[in-house]
Structure 1
Amino acid sequence: MAFTPPPTFTTRPTLIGTMGMVASTHWIATSAAQGVLERDGNAFDAAVAGGFVLHVVEPHLNGPGGDLVGVFATGDDPGRPVVLMGQGPAPAGATIDRFRAEGLDLVPGAGGLAAAIPAAVDAWLLLLRDHGTMELADVLAPAIRCARDGVPVLPTTAAVIARVADLFLDHWPTSAALWLADGAAPRPGALHRNPAYADALERLAAVDAPDRRGRIDAARREWGRMLGAAASFLATPHRHSSGADHAAVITADDLATQPARFEDAVTAPFRDRVIAKAGPWSQGPALLEALRILDGLPDDVLDPSTEVGAHTVVETLKLVLADRDAHFGDGADVAPLLGDAFAVARAAEIRSSASHDWRPGRPAGGEPFAAPLLRARDGAVAGTGEPTVAPSGETRGDTCHIDVVDRWGNIIAVTPSGGWLQSSPTVPDLGFCLGTRLQMTWLDESAPSALRPGARPRTTLSPTLVLRDGRAEIAMGTPGGDQQDQWQVPMLLRMIVGGYTAQEAIDAPTLHTTALIDSFWPRTWDPAGVVVEDRLGDAVIAGLVRRGHDVIRAGEWRLGRLSAVGIDRDEGTMWAAANPRGMQGYAGGR
């Protein structure tokens, strides 16, 4: 066998059933989504219910003022992967000249100036309208109960609040009012209530129109009107991660738009599968390029549990992430990056020793965007950037994820994020804040991901759909910012090439490189770093060091929050698998 055999035991079983399956990053979201399936809702109804619950139970990881990316296929058309585009664009007033006039070289990582137009809620409502079956009020009921009655505060939520407590107390009093009791962070396990957000959801649930579709459309319009409160609130200058006070440029007219839509997925073959991702306004095509490069290599150099396999995966990731940073952006053409000739040429650039250079390719012969290479600093700035995994491997939080499959063959993976409680000041009338996705843009007109009004920032959100024999079979994803596709590559290799089950692949030790330009403020780069779970083994780790990698041990169970659902068409069953790390993600189904 070319791959290391999977473990004899897994942390939990791969769930198998015939009615419906859910996996997510929080047990309450999984339970809410499964409850919808039990009431004969379909996978899209269930995903929406779970998605709104995630706003409440993982508020440091996503929020209603943020964004999402989904990818799905319907049971009626299982061979057509569709992207749920929930990434809002830059507001009309968000120009490079305006930000430069504020004395900025980078878009800040926290504060209202970095807010893109929120699209997460609009995307959930669009999905429910066009592919769901249930009434909005019924789908929102679990989230309303969670916000009204309270949910237990996660240890990670409490830790994030504690880290930004001084920022809240000194500069963001509305956030302090919502998240701090007597000036202190909540203790893990304490119930936290958000009555303002419960009120907001109840307003959406109460809108009326003659039919179901009309009611959801009316709710989308009402949501845009409700968001207008954020524009007036953030117009007052407030503290940003730059250390200065700025007023947001987003307006009520920006917020009244309905930015979500459906798009065709970008696809690429790998072995006997086809992998589907969002377009180059996300980082998704980087995973496709990685698989195109690895597809031409023999199986025995693809096992991430071996020295040569781990090295090959890391060096491939360095190449494709350089291409991401040099070429991706809203409207970019990534087809040349996924072609056969380019994949072969990039594979030839993989060295036997660790590369220490930023090496974007030149698929069309022109010069790639020369992104600034700012060396990574030790430590992190509280309240800035996406709450993700630091270069040291220490968890500062993540994003969220949910996967659902139903008995009618509908299957979906969604990664919601942004609007973290530490992103910008809480809008008191709404009970949440706006996100900071514009920090992924450059204040440089030559960049493919430059800040431009109406253009989407190049997001890191990157769920995956896998097709076999022309039909969708796996929906999967993970939180983790720049690591999302990095952690999905080893999982896909282990499943497709190594024959692992999904749970075996999730449980297996993983790794990622830090040799990328961080998508989040302050946009740093670490040219040779590799972060590994200790379970990869001393021999493999020593081999990576000999090859010149700067290896950081993250601990036994620290990297990735992968989950997945799937369809076994040979057996006529469905399955689900979830991440054990952090003791938070769960799968459910029957």
Structure 2
Amino acid sequence: MLTRPELHGTVGAVASTHWLASSAGMAVLERGGNAADAAVAAGFVLHVVEPHLNGPGGDLPAIVHVPGSEPRVLSGQGPTGAGATIAAHRALGVDHVPGTGLLAAVVPGAVPAWLTLLRDLGTWSVADVLAFAIDLAERGHHVLPRVAATIGASAERFRSEWPTSAALWLADGVPEPWQRIRNPLLAQTYRRLADAGAGLGRDAACDAAIAAWSEGFVAEAIDAHVRVPVVDATGDAHPGLLRGEDMAAWRPTWEAPLGLDWRGRRVLKCGAWTQGPALLAQLGILEPLLPTRADRFDADLVHLATEAAKLAFADRDAWFGDGADLTGLLDEPYLAERRALIGSEASLELRPGALHGAPRFPVVQVEGAERAAGAGEPTRGDTCHLDVVDADGMVISATPSGGWLQSSPAIEGLGFCLGTRAQMLWLEEGLATSMAPGIRPRTTLSPSMALHDDGTVAAFGTPGGDQQDSWQLSMLLGMGVLGLGPQAAIDAPAWHTTHLVSSFDPRVWEPGGLHVESRLGADVIDELRRRGHRVTDVGEWSLGRLSLASRSPDGTVRAAANPRGEQGYAVVR
């Protein structure tokens, strides 16, 4: 039995991690906007209603399919500043990039990326797509219990160390769950962006809004903000290394995706500056080992998937990074070499492959390292996700994140904070993800798209930090091996490995770690433990916030959303 119906329609579909974003996107489609217009409107709403999981100061990767064209990746992952060197960090007395504060700030890419999508593929004005977010920020929305809890957990730090955050989030005390909260400063910021292009044509107005962000009042406020030291996860106060000229020098880019053919579909991911290729590697390693069809996720299937994930993520940690050469990663000889390492017992080693010679791996701590308050990713379900399809066949998969309210102090007068994506870089020379000026930190954000042999195009993804491409794998296995529809595959029990180097501060790994939903069954969990997996049963419904939206050649649109957390929502007409 499904937790909710799989939705079908013809006008369009929006699925996201918050019902208000899905509703805003669908309202745009209903009023004649296309998928780009709807995605941008919904994306800005997510900044307002999930501020603990994304914000204007964060980042955005997306994959976009336009009928008649090859799918493209929109990179809204901002780079490090010109002053972000290993030596500069050492001079400040730090041996790793802290997960909170200002040192981990990179160029905030989400807003320029959303506006680039609107300019290049949309039809609506900046003011019209921003109207939904402005209304929710100005008049208020009923705050999620998790947002209220995050503010409550951060209240002491806000009051004692980050007064601008206290002024923004604690003006009336810690909010209660479902209390109506407002962010008039953010509404004002968005209104100023819209006003920047007043009287100009649509494309020029988009460029004017981007310029106001990257070179105008936003960049000026950020430049002043990062120069004032604040206490971060190290326990000491440090200034940031980002500058206004770094923002002015950068714009989002369009790129080609990477792809792999798997069971009647070509799965597409963003490039080596994301962890996305690890999903393709998992599929390539697994395929010859998988049954044609299975009735359930048994111990054999979960074991194989987990071991393939360990290998793929070891390659991620050794080889992936901005500008990295992943040639050969998905070639069958290399996949066969990796596949041969999978045995009947759980591996407890980190085993990156020799993709281009001997792998260079960072020095990491084993599980159990003490975690500084507020460091790293905010929750297991961090980040947001959004899938949009319109009646003409434009399909968009987007995974915005960063700029979490609890990760960095609010910028005075703007209503948001900066992201901390540079915590994913290492202060060691010679790694694929070594700190350097002007590079994109390798992000965990991992939107996906599938081009089916029958012409169906599907967008899908999930929040979840390092776990995103484990939960997406379990969904794909549900569809490709168990024969489930999208909603049933999202509902199916999920799992993920923690046998990888955490992308977040502190950078640790848990040898053999495997988190599972109890619905896999006691027999499966017991057998996985017998094989040496260090299994943690995390409850019946706790892993993943997947969503999917698709369009078939006959014009049918479909959508499915995650029931976990009682928050994700799909809308179709």
Q: TM-score w.r.t. structure 2 length? A: 0.97
Aligned pairs (5 A) from 1:241-390: 241-299=233-291, 305-364=297-356, 366-377=357-368, 380-389=371-380
Of the structure 1 ranges 57-66 and 152-161, higher mean CA displacement relative to structure 2 is found in 152-161
Instruction: Tell me which residue corresponds to 1:30.
Output: 22
Please state whether the residue corresponding to 2:399 is helix, strand or coil: strand
Instruction: Tell me which residue corresponds to 2:189.
Output: 200
Please state whether the residue corresponding to 1:552 is helix, strand or coil: strand
**Structure 2 CA distance for partners of 1:349 and 1:573, relative to 1, 3 Å:** same
Instruction: Tell me which residue corresponds to 2:103.
Output: 113
In structure 2, C-alpha distance between the alignment counterparts of 1:194 and 1:302, rounded to whole Å: 50
Of the structure 1 ranges 303-312 and 496-505, higher mean CA displacement relative to structure 2 is found in 303-312
Please state whether the residue corresponding to 1:417 is helix, strand or coil: coil
Instruction: Tell me which residue corresponds to 2:443.
Output: 459
Paired residue type of 2:560 = A
**Structure 2 CA distance for partners of 1:306 and 1:122, relative to 1, 3 Å:** same
Paired residue type of 1:587 = A
Tell me the CA shift for residue 335 of structure 1.
2.1
Instruction: Tell me which residue corresponds to 1:230.
Output: 222
- Counterpart contact for 1:144–1:201, Cα < 8 Å: yes
In structure 2, C-alpha distance between the alignment counterparts of 1:298 and 1:477, rounded to whole Å: 22
In structure 2, C-alpha distance between the alignment counterparts of 1:303 and 1:134, rounded to whole Å: 47
Tell me the CA shift for residue 269 of structure 1.
1.3
Paired residue type of 2:26 = Q
The partner residue of 2:73 within 74, 83, 86 is 83
State yes or no: 1:39 paired with 2:22.
no
State yes or no: 1:240 paired with 2:232.
yes
Paired residue type of 2:182 = R
Instruction: Tell me which residue corresponds to 1:531.
Output: 515
Instruction: Tell me which residue corresponds to 1:394.
Output: none
Of the structure 1 ranges 290-299 and 468-477, higher mean CA displacement relative to structure 2 is found in 468-477
Tell me the CA shift for residue 301 of structure 1.
8.9
State yes or no: 1:97 paired with 2:87.
yes
In structure 2, C-alpha distance between the alignment counterparts of 1:254 and 1:262, rounded to whole Å: 19
Paired residue type of 1:22 = V
Instruction: Tell me which residue corresponds to 1:413.
Output: 397
State yes or no: 1:541 paired with 2:538.
no
Q: Spell out, residue by residue over 1:394-421, the C-alpha distance to the aligned partner (whole angstroms, 9 max, x if none).
A: xxx4110000001000001100000000
In structure 1, C-alpha distance between the alignment counterparts of 2:303 and 2:287, rounded to whole Å: 16
Please state whether the residue corresponding to 2:570 is helix, strand or coil: strand
State yes or no: 1:72 paired with 2:52.
no
**Structure 2 CA distance for partners of 1:264 and 1:302, relative to 1, 3 Å:** farther
In structure 1, C-alpha distance between the alignment counterparts of 2:501 and 2:88, rounded to whole Å: 24
Paired residue type of 1:130 = D
In structure 2, C-alpha distance between the alignment counterparts of 1:30 and 1:330, rounded to whole Å: 32
State yes or no: 1:188 paired with 2:188.
no
State yes or no: 1:149 paired with 2:139.
yes
Tell me the CA shift for residue 110 of structure 1.
0.3
- Counterpart contact for 1:304–1:313, Cα < 8 Å: no
In structure 2, C-alpha distance between the alignment counterparts of 1:498 and 1:170, rounded to whole Å: 53
- Counterpart contact for 1:42–1:132, Cα < 8 Å: yes
Paired residue type of 1:376 = E
Paired residue type of 1:444 = E
Of the structure 1 ranges 25-34 and 98-107, higher mean CA displacement relative to structure 2 is found in 98-107
- Counterpart contact for 1:62–1:399, Cα < 8 Å: yes
In structure 2, C-alpha distance between the alignment counterparts of 1:247 and 1:347, rounded to whole Å: 46
- Counterpart contact for 1:281–1:459, Cα < 8 Å: yes
Tell me the CA shift for residue 379 of structure 1.
6.8
In structure 1, C-alpha distance between the alignment counterparts of 2:359 and 2:71, rounded to whole Å: 30
Aligned pairs (5 A) from 1:120-135: 120-135=110-125
Tell me the CA shift for residue 298 of structure 1.
3.3
In structure 2, C-alpha distance between the alignment counterparts of 1:17 and 1:177, rounded to whole Å: 45
**Structure 2 CA distance for partners of 1:324 and 1:287, relative to 1, 3 Å:** same
Tell me the CA shift for residue 351 of structure 1.
1.1
In structure 1, C-alpha distance between the alignment counterparts of 2:547 and 2:103, rounded to whole Å: 33
In structure 1, C-alpha distance between the alignment counterparts of 2:295 and 2:94, rounded to whole Å: 44
In structure 2, C-alpha distance between the alignment counterparts of 1:301 and 1:27, rounded to whole Å: 34
Of the structure 1 ranges 526-535 and 295-304, higher mean CA displacement relative to structure 2 is found in 295-304
Q: Spell out, residue by residue over 1:195-218, the C-alpha distance to the aligned partner (whole angstroms, 9 max, x if none).
A: 111001001111225311011111
Q: Spell out, residue by residue over 1:251-293, the C-alpha distance to the aligned partner (whole angstroms, 9 max, x if none).
A: 1111223431111101111122111100000000000111111
Q: Spell out, residue by residue over 1:450-494, the C-alpha distance to the aligned partner (whole angstroms, 9 max, x if none).
A: 111111100000010001238461100000000001100010111
In structure 2, C-alpha distance between the alignment counterparts of 1:295 and 1:191, rounded to whole Å: 49
In structure 1, C-alpha distance between the alignment counterparts of 2:349 and 2:132, rounded to whole Å: 49
In structure 1, C-alpha distance between the alignment counterparts of 2:46 and 2:396, rounded to whole Å: 16
In structure 1, C-alpha distance between the alignment counterparts of 2:303 and 2:295, rounded to whole Å: 10
Tell me the CA shift for residue 449 of structure 1.
0.8
Question: RMSD across aligned C-alpha pairs, in angstroms?
Answer: 1.4
- Counterpart contact for 2:369–2:508, Cα < 8 Å: no
Instruction: Tell me which residue corresponds to 2:492.
Output: 508
Of the structure 1 ranges 202-211 and 12-21, higher mean CA displacement relative to structure 2 is found in 202-211
Q: TM-score w.r.t. structure 1 length? A: 0.95
In structure 1, C-alpha distance between the alignment counterparts of 2:222 and 2:244, rounded to whole Å: 8
Please state whether the residue corresponding to 1:575 is helix, strand or coil: strand
In structure 2, C-alpha distance between the alignment counterparts of 1:572 and 1:181, rounded to whole Å: 49
- Counterpart contact for 2:234–2:372, Cα < 8 Å: no
In structure 2, C-alpha distance between the alignment counterparts of 1:120 and 1:374, rounded to whole Å: 32
Structure 1 runs not aligned, ≥5 long: 1-8, 390-396
State yes or no: 1:478 paired with 2:487.
no
Q: Percent identity?
A: 52
Please state whether the residue corresponding to 2:565 is helix, strand or coil: coil
Moved over 6 A (4+): 301-304
Tell me the CA shift for residue 248 of structure 1.
0.8
